[in-house]
Amino acid sequence: MANRRRSIAVLALIRSLVELTVVSALTAWGFLSWQLPLPGIIIGFVTFFVSVLVWALFLSPKPVLAVDGYARGLVSLLFLAAGCAAMLKLGFPWYAVLLFTLVAATLNYTELVLRTKPQVKHVG
């Protein structure tokens, strides 16, 4: 039981780093893909606030909106897809974005399985 909690905590930490990378990529895309100063600054701040809002509502360790694991997984994958699209638009190599996507999707899936897997209690 303690080993399982430790595994979930380590996965959550790594997933938080991945989500921080996604928020950073979306914010950088908002600032750099538009003409500065006026539309670029506004869009940069809007993408930052919207990505942090989505993270806080659905993906944080203690989310504001409690949804089931599958809806959380769907929001997480859409959040990841937006970040990967922003990385591609910023000029990251496609193979680096593909590797990042595979690692992040595997982390999300593994955490979803660990959180929804029924716990077996031994009687004896």
Helix axes 2-32, 69-90, angle to 10 degrees: 40
Q: What is the pLDDT of residues 6-19, one digit of tens each?
A: 877 888 888 889 99
Q: What is the pLDDT of residues 65-93, one digit of tens each?
A: 988 878 888 898 899 999 999 999 999 99
Highest mean pLDDT among 7-16, 22-31, 103-112 belongs to 22-31
Q: Is the dihedral of CA 80, 85, 86, 88 positive or negative?
A: positive
Q: Which residues of 39-64 are buried (b: 16+ CB within 10 A; e: fewer)?
A: eeeebbeebbeebeebbeebbeeeee
pTM of the predicted protein model: 0.83
